[in-house]
Every structure is written in structure tokens, then in C-alpha cells.
Amino acid sequence: MKNRSLVSINDYSKEEYLKILDLAEEFEKNPRQEIMNGHVVATLFFEPSTRTRLSFESAVNRLGGRILGFADSNSSSATKGETLRDTIKMVCSYADLIVMRHPLEGSARFASEVSTVPVINAGDGANQHPTQTLLDLYSIRKTQGTLENLNIFMVGDLKYGRTVHSLLMAMSQFNATFYFISPDELKMPDEYKRYLKSMGLKFYEFKDFTDIINQADIIYMTRVQKERFSDPIEYERTKNAYILRHHMLKDSRTNMKILHPLPRVNEIHLDVDSSEKAYYFTQALNGVFVRQAIISSILGLK
């Protein structure tokens, strides 16, 4: 992984996922390891993302590295019309590693071609957000003790949700069984279903999850956004089917955990927060350890 950019979750093999997770575990036990020794990380956020940026910056700080960059494109020369190509060419002579979020899809792959230093994709539009996926994997392994042979429920917007697509690709390496729960308009795209078939993996599609919820090891919730529906009446009719409430968890498996990439709106009712099965806030916390692991392995420090 040394000196290699991380643009897409498919850039890493199963063994490499596991290496990152082991390393993240080590960082969780001992988060302050000043191994970066003044290495400079540029965090280029062409679109704001508080959680992701702070989590990266916290990771760098705990590793004893330095940070430069900007938190939104208004404070970069992109507002003067500078191309991404030029910005990256300039920044890679100031930093040892670039962490970039950009609204355009494919921007991170392009940056990794232009840059002389490795690039970590912190989200390129609706395309990829691989560090989120790795922290999802970390959260799943930590709560289940394994990544193998799990029942993964994905709920909500499965059509546009990049986090569910990347998680599907990653979990397909571990013989998962998938349960897709979504309204018709937001179903898992065919290309992913074809991929699962080609891997010989099982998946099931449902319109709501009340009858089957007790089979879940992991429930991965996503936001169902009103603007995704062509028919607003359809939205009003379906939205309540994808809201998770405390009473629905009554007979769920004891090992079951609820994940969510956050921010949530109303798809997980507040009464779920008190359940020991609610894991989404801890999941966000795990992001720092996982990013410490990714940064230190790309810089060749671990």
C-alpha cells in the first residue's frame, strides 16, 4: 500500500482490507503515536464535510503530522477558475500526502494521476468514499468478531447511496448474504446484482423490513431523500416504511448492530439511540483509527 493512492474501495484486496483493520485496532488501543514526524498532509475539501475532514485532521494530529489545506472551495483558488489539474500539481510539491473531497465524480482518480504524492479520496461526488467503507468494515468486524458469513441488511436509498455500493463490493469478499430493503424507485442497481450473481452470493429484495428484521446481523441504514422521488406522493406513501424504531428491534439477534454513515435525518428514530444495538455514533468514532491506519500505511510508516 506504500505510496499507492486510495481512490476506490476496489483498489485494495481482501488482504489489504484486513491489514488496515488490524492496524486500526492497534491505533484504537494506542491512538497517540507520533510516527509522522513532521510529514505534511494537505486536506483539500472542495466541498465542505465536517465529519470527514475533522476525522482526517484528528488522525494526522494524533500521528504527529502537519496539516495544510482548505475546508471549502471558497477559500481556494478554484473560485478564481483554477483547474483541478493545476491545483493538484501545485499542492503535491507542498505535501507528502493529499486528502481530497470534491463534488465531481472521478476527480480523485484524476488527481491521483496528476499528483506526484499519493491521494486519498475523501469522497468524489456520488462515486466513492473508500475510507468510509473501511471504517464500516472495521465497525462490522469489531461488533461481530468476524467479517465472514454475515447477513447484511441495507435499507433506504440503495440506488444513489455510494456508501452501500462500496460496502457491498467490500463485503462480497467475505461471503455475506445481502438483504436489500428499499422503495421501487431506489432499488439496488442491476450492475451490483449482476456482480453478486457472478460471485455466487445470495441476495434478497424487500419493500419493507418488519417481517425479516430478526435475521439481520448488521442493519445499514441510509437516508431516503425526498428529492430522489419523481412523484412526491410516492415519497409520502413510502417514507415511513424505512424508519427504524425501537420496538422493531424487540426480537432481533443479540449480536445485531445498526450502522449509519451519518448524518441522519429521521430514518432512525431518536428512541433507537438508547438501544445497545445502536452503533452509529461509535462507528463515526472508529473513523479516526481507521484513517490513522490508512495514512500510516500509505506513508510507509507502519
Partner 1 sequence: MKDIKHLVVSAIKDGTVIDHIPAKDLFKVISILGLDHIENQVTFGSNLDSKKLGKKAIIKISGLFFRNEDINKIALVAPEAKLNIIKDYNVIEKKVVEVPDSITGIAKCVNPKCITNNEEIVTKFSVVDKKKVILKCYYCEKITDQDNMRII
Catalytic annotation, residues: 51-52, 80, 101, 129
Instruction: Using CB atoms within 10 Å of the CB of residue 212, give its burial: 0 to 12 exposed, 13 to 18 middle, 19+ buried.
Output: middle
In the complex, minimum distance from the CB of residue 114 to partner 1, in angstroms, rounded to a whole number: 10
Angle at CA 18, nearest 5°, toward 14 and 22?
175
Does residue 125 bind partner 1 (CB under 8 A)? yes
The C-alpha atoms of residue 98 and residue 67 are separated, in whole angstroms, by: 10
Exactly one of 107, 133, 283, 297 binds partner 1 (CB under 8 A); that residue is 107
300 contacts partner 1 (rule: CB under 8 A): no
Does position 126 interact with partner 1 (CB under 8 A)? The reply is yes
Nearest to 62 by CA among 297, 223, 295, 298: 295
CB of 113 or CB of 273, closer to partner 1: 113
> Of the candidates 17, 20, 98, 124, which one interacts with partner 1 according to CB under 8 A?
124
Provide the minimum distance between the beta carbon of 155 and partner 1 in the complex, in angstroms, as a whole number: 23
Stretch that binds partner 1, among 79-87, 133-141, 214-222, 239-247 (CB under 8 A): 79-87
- Regarding 159 and contact with partner 1 (CB under 8 A), the answer is no
Q: Is 85 in the site for partner 1 (CB under 8 A)?
A: yes
Q: Which is nearer to partner 1, 124 or 217 (CB)?
A: 124
Neighbours of 182 (CB within 10 A): 26
Query: Least distance in Å: CB of 190 to partner 1?
Result: 10
Number of residues that bind partner 1 (CB under 8 A): 18
β-partners of residue 219 are 153, 258
- Asked if residue 150 lies in contact with residue 176, where contact means CB atoms within 8 angstroms, the answer is yes
Q: How far is the CB of 162 from partner 1 (least distance, A)?
A: 10
Distances (CA, A) of 286 to 26, 53, 55, 280: 12, 14, 9, 10
CA 98 to chain centre: 18
State the minimum distance, in angstroms, from the CB of residue 127 to partner 1: 5
Distances (CA, A) of 134 to 6, 62, 170, 300: 11, 19, 8, 18
From 66, 89, 109, 246, residue interacting with partner 1 (rule: CB under 8 A): 109
Nine cell digits for residue 284: 463515526
| Nearest-approach distance from CB 125 to partner 1, in angstroms | 5
Query: Look-up: residue for cell 491521494?
Result: 119
Residues numbered 170-199 forming contacts with partner 1, rule: CB under 8 A: 191
Question: What is the DSSP annotation of 186-223?
Answer: GPPPHHHHHHHHHTT--EEEES--TTTGGG-SEEEE--
* 71/90 Cα distance (integer angstroms): 17
Q: Which of 68, 104, 265, 270 touches partner 1 by CB under 8 A? A: 104
Give, as ranges, the residues between 33 and 62 that touch partner 1 (CB under 8 A).
none
Residue 3 or 83 having the CB closest to partner 1: 83
> Which of 74, 77, 79, 83 is the binder for partner 1 (CB under 8 A)?
83
Give residues in contact with partner 1 (CB under 8 A).
Answer: 8, 83-85, 102-107, 109-110, 124-128, 191
